[in-house]
Structure 1
Amino acid sequence: MVFSSLFFTFAFLPITVILYYSLGKPLRNIVLLTASLFFYAWGEPVYVLLMCGSIMINYWIGTLLGRDSGGRRNRQLLLSISLIFNLGCLAYFKYFGMIISTITAMGGWNLQVGTPALPLGISFYTFQTLSYVIDVYREKIKPQKSLLLFALYITMFPQLVAGPIVHYADIESQLADRSMTLEKFYSGMRRFLCGLAKKMLLANNIGLLWSEVKAMPGTEISVLMAWAGIIAFTLQIYFDFSGYSDMAIGLGKMFGFRFKENFRYPYSSQSISEFWRRWHISLGSWFKEYVYIPLGGSRVGKWKLIGNLFVVWFLTGLWHGASWNFVVWGLYFGTLIYVEKSFLQKSMARWPKAVRHIYLLLLVVIGWVFFEFTNLTDGLSFLRIMFGVGDNALIDNQGMVKLKTYAVLYSVCIIAASPGPKKLALLFIRTHGNIYKLVVNVYYCVLMFWGAAYMVGSTYNPFIYFRF
């Protein structure tokens, strides 16, 4: 079940909201947990058992860690059990096929081994359970005594399958008790509609251009067409994932939860380091807190820093998918961040802002090529086309037609990906507060009906980050 579907928007969500608020406060968590399990089981009924097993084991380990205040070896053993179980499940379901294919390629064998289907959202809920157990082990938080509340933390459907990754400490108090007002609910609904519009109206439509370009034979793609296509993907993946995060944050607010922001206009950044402070914030903060800092962070020698960055960005790339192109993508950004930290940062400060921004966008767009092409050879071939290496035409009529067709959508996407509209809205509030309320209400009504119309007629509706 996806958020951008008619069943979710006009059946599952309204029924859940009605039951949640009509059955009274004592039953709200039960309603939300039941709805979350149903939401997950809708597409993968078998793997809901895996998730429930993970909940039971990690709840048990957390409880034992809370009781054992003395024995260090026992605590380390319990932590090890949790790490082996959680990472073992993730490795088997997500990376088993990659491991077998790599071994086969290296040994020259022809192994025919079936690979398991990837459980939806396993990367996200595995990281949440790991952060909970590690924080209990570190005695940063107390273990949750209620199995119901712990299960709700792991399974909560707004952020279950594609994040943001929620730390237990951030919502610990909200699990037991949370206040709710009509204004908060309305604010959450507005945020959900914004995310839905990003997904249905922007990501899906600009993504069609990239699908057309990617399906073309390499010999028929001009330099212009290659850049038009990969820029379309650059916009698609932002609106796809930030749209999902907006919907998750909005849904959470509708049920009284406050989730942290996951995106802060990353394409307005002026360095790779800043970009990664603004893109998929919850994942970046997870690796920083649980991998980078324990390794020593940046307060180490040159070679140790290189090693730390290699580990973090190798894992960041690998987290995104069971294919070596994701590892290359991660190490690509890790290398750029090291270059910036080591010597480029000081000189960049003297560059004009426009130059820094172009530098950031160019490197990010190149990075998305490694991300999107699972076959590295195909990705490198596409990069060669982008930079005019080969016999491909520089400009062709087909490319010009595509640009004219998508010109308005390109413009809307570029504006929507910047903080400009938000700044204008804040300015309008200060000068025309009363009119603003009316305009906003009309705006969200239009988004709702327009988004619903696209859900009815759209045949292209993938969530890119669902596969991670």
Structure 2
Amino acid sequence: MVNFAGMEFIFYFFPVFLLIYHLIPIKYKDVVLLLGSYLFYASGDLKYVLLLLLLTLCNYFMGQQIHKLSEGYKMHSWQRTERKKKLAFIISLDVTVLLVFKMLAVFVDSSLFPLGLSFYLFKMISFQVDYYRGEIFEKTSFLSVAVYFSLFPQVISGPIMRYNEGTEPQNRIYCLSQLEDGMKYFAAGLGMKVLLADRLAILWNDLQMIGYQSISTPLAWLGAAGYSLQLYFDFWGYSLMASGILVCLGFDFIENFHHPYASGSIGEFYRRWHMTLGRFFRDYVYIPLGGSRCRKNRLILNLMIVWLITGLWHGNGLNYLLWGAVLGLFIMLEKLFYGERLKKLPVLRNLYVLFLIPLTWVIFAITDLHQLLIYFGRLFPVFGGTGIAVNTGDFLKYAGTYGKLFLAGGLLCIPGVFDFLEKHRKNPFVIAGLLLIFWYSVYFMASSGENPFLYFQF
């Protein structure tokens, strides 16, 4: 049931929950939201519900202690010291829990990693730091904090919402137009997941079955582009569905992607990709380390720390560390050397991104380093020593099969196309199109099964 693109969620859990949530008085909405969130989480990972509850209690209690020490007109030096100690303790606890389960997943069994642990722990860290900085002004209740940590549209894979973003039920919007908008975002995200991402996934699976050493260079590039679009529409689709559900519940829409493939640099790409995670690393890791307002040596160190952590967060294999290091290297080069020049080359800078990003996604996708070298040998046969003439007809075969998906995906990567559809989302033709997409997606789910979102593993 934790899969938004699943029959149980779409036709059982969500409609029933939504009906109860909107019929209940405002003062009880958070109670319903908390119970629904725990039921949702338990359906996917019952054995770790207690862990979520214990971490919620620890973080709430410590947050109250930090807030209590900041009360009064003047803060004494001992209060500042105690607040820092308590903040360091709770963040250390949260990070330790994450590292312990990461190690268990690597060295014992991957199934030991609790569902959504990375995402709700990041929310807990965000809450503690914001409370410490005074960005959360009022004293919080246990109910509102518990809802924030376990909010079911976000608990599995984000987006990583801040505590102040619609936490109090009286600040939310409850009306039919809000509900309608949320349903439209949900339908658009479902279509991206089921009709684009899941079908493009077949191409990448086929390449794995064939064996990377047996594919031609053109097909290797097609596979890299296909995986790039698959990952994009899988996670953008999830984010639209999650944000659509939040809008249905009265929250503001949270943007997690902003046309990253229209970027003009790698740094800009990751300011537009998984934006809430990027803001988390910026606000709670990069800036506290010194950000970019420091000497070059320190800037290089800060960037590499952030991107190595980003790589480790995404997975346990060496390929994820390599992926993070490569991205950190390119962003560092942009900041120190050719970033300003890129801004003066409007077409070439976009081609630069469209060339490099699929290559980095190949590193992300292939966990076996030997197979990764083979794939790069197919991408660049001159350096790989394997030659270009391997199954020369395979490209035309797969290009013909997946051409329509690449065309649809490419159009949605153009900012003006999606922005036009969003601007005219109340147009009857757009509404009819979304209804068609929704039911066509349901048909595909019923006939081909339900596929989990790629980011569930993180």
Q: Which bracket does the TM-score occupy, shorter chain normalised?
A: over 0.9
Would you say 1:298 and 2:292 are equivalent positions? Answer: yes
Shift of 1:175: 4.2
Q: Name which of 216, 219, 224 aligns with 1:222.
A: 216
Counterpart in the other structure of 1:324: 318
Q: How does 1:333-348 map to 2 (within 5 A)?
A: 333-348=327-342
What letter is aligned with 1:302? K
Shift of 1:145: 2.9
Counterpart in the other structure of 2:352: 359
Counterpart in the other structure of 1:146: 141
**Change beyond 3 A, Cα 1:220–1:279:** same
Q: Residue 27 of structure 2 contacts residue 169 of structure 2 at CA under 8 Å; is this kept in 1?
A: no
Q: Name which of 397, 418, 421 aligns with 1:401.
A: 397
Counterpart in the other structure of 2:98: 90
Shift of 1:95: 3.1
What letter is aligned with 1:90? L
Counterpart in the other structure of 2:437: 447
How many angstroms apart in 2 are the aligned matches of 1:241 and 1:425? 19
Q: Residue 124 of structure 2 contacts residue 149 of structure 2 at CA under 8 Å; is this kept in 1?
A: yes
Q: Name which of 105, 109, 120 aligns with 1:125.
A: 120
How many angstroms apart in 2 are the aligned matches of 1:445 and 1:260? 23
Would you say 1:59 and 2:52 are equivalent positions? Answer: no
How many angstroms apart in 2 are the aligned matches of 1:215 and 1:142? 55
Q: Residue 264 of structure 2 contacts residue 350 of structure 2 at CA under 8 Å; is this kept in 1?
A: yes
Shift of 1:278: 0.5
> Residue by residue, what CA displacement relative to the aligned partner does 1:270-327 show, whole Å, maximum 9, x if unpaired?
1111101100100111111111111111111111111111111111111111222111
Q: Name which of 362, 367, 370 aligns with 1:369.
A: 362
How many angstroms apart in 1 are the aligned matches of 2:145 and 2:343? 46
Q: Residue 179 of structure 2 contacts residue 249 of structure 2 at CA under 8 Å; is this kept in 1?
A: yes
Shift of 1:426: 7.2
Q: Name which of 404, 408, 412 aligns with 1:412.
A: 408
Task: Flag structure 2 segments of 5+ consecutive residues without an equivalent.
Answer: 71-75
**Change beyond 3 A, Cα 1:368–1:447:** same
What letter is aligned with 1:87? V
**Change beyond 3 A, Cα 1:251–1:426:** closer
How many angstroms apart in 2 are the aligned matches of 1:326 and 1:250? 30
How many angstroms apart in 1 are the aligned matches of 2:92 and 2:99? 10
Counterpart in the other structure of 1:383: 376
How many angstroms apart in 1 are the aligned matches of 2:431 and 2:344? 44
**Change beyond 3 A, Cα 1:327–1:196:** same
How many angstroms apart in 2 are the aligned matches of 1:163 and 1:392? 43
> Residue by residue, what CA displacement relative to the aligned partner does 1:416-461 show, whole Å, maximum 9, x if unpaired?
122132354478x5xxx9xx72212211211221111111112361
What letter is aligned with 1:382? Y
Q: Residue 202 of structure 1 contacts residue 236 of structure 1 at CA under 8 Å; is this kept in 2?
A: yes
How many angstroms apart in 2 are the aligned matches of 1:155 and 1:407? 40
Partner of 2:347, secondary structure, is helix
Would you say 1:50 and 2:43 are equivalent positions? Answer: no
Counterpart in the other structure of 1:8: 9
How many angstroms apart in 2 are the aligned matches of 1:329 and 1:144? 41
Would you say 1:233 and 2:227 are equivalent positions? Answer: yes
Partner of 1:158, secondary structure, is coil
**Change beyond 3 A, Cα 1:425–1:161:** closer
What letter is aligned with 1:131? S
Q: Residue 196 of structure 2 contacts residue 409 of structure 2 at CA under 8 Å; is this kept in 1?
A: yes
Q: Name which of 75, 79, 88 aligns with 2:87.
A: 79
What letter is aligned with 1:4? A
Shift of 1:390: 2.6
> Residue by residue, what CA displacement relative to the aligned partner does 1:359-418 show, whole Å, maximum 9, x if unpaired?
101110110011111122221221111111232544622221111111111111111122
How many angstroms apart in 1 are the aligned matches of 2:405 and 2:340? 37
What letter is aligned with 1:7? E
261-270 or 315-324: bigger deviation: 315-324
Q: Name which of 306, 311, 325 aligns with 1:312.
A: 306
Partner of 2:287, secondary structure, is helix
Counterpart in the other structure of 1:212: 206
What letter is aligned with 2:59? N
Task: Flag structure 1 segments of 5+ consecutive residues without an equivalent.
Answer: 101-112
What letter is aligned with 1:294? P
**Change beyond 3 A, Cα 1:31–1:204:** same
Shift of 1:155: 0.6
**Change beyond 3 A, Cα 1:5–1:144:** farther
Q: TM-score, normalised by structure 2?
A: 0.93
How many angstroms apart in 2 are the aligned matches of 1:321 and 1:143? 37
Shift of 1:60: 0.2
Shift of 1:83: 1.4
Q: TM-score, normalised by structure 1?
A: 0.92
Shift of 1:140: 2.2
How many angstroms apart in 2 are the aligned matches of 1:363 and 1:33? 43
How many angstroms apart in 2 are the aligned matches of 1:376 and 1:337? 23
Partner of 2:165, secondary structure, is helix
Matched residue count: 447
Q: Residue 79 of structure 1 contacts residue 133 of structure 1 at CA under 8 Å; is this kept in 2?
A: yes
**Change beyond 3 A, Cα 1:53–1:7:** same
Shift of 1:184: 0.7
Shift of 1:97: 4.6
Q: Residue 123 of structure 2 contacts residue 162 of structure 2 at CA under 8 Å; is this kept in 1?
A: yes
How many angstroms apart in 2 are the aligned matches of 1:320 and 1:398? 32
Counterpart in the other structure of 2:153: 158
How many angstroms apart in 1 are the aligned matches of 2:347 and 2:452? 34
Shift of 1:76: 2.1
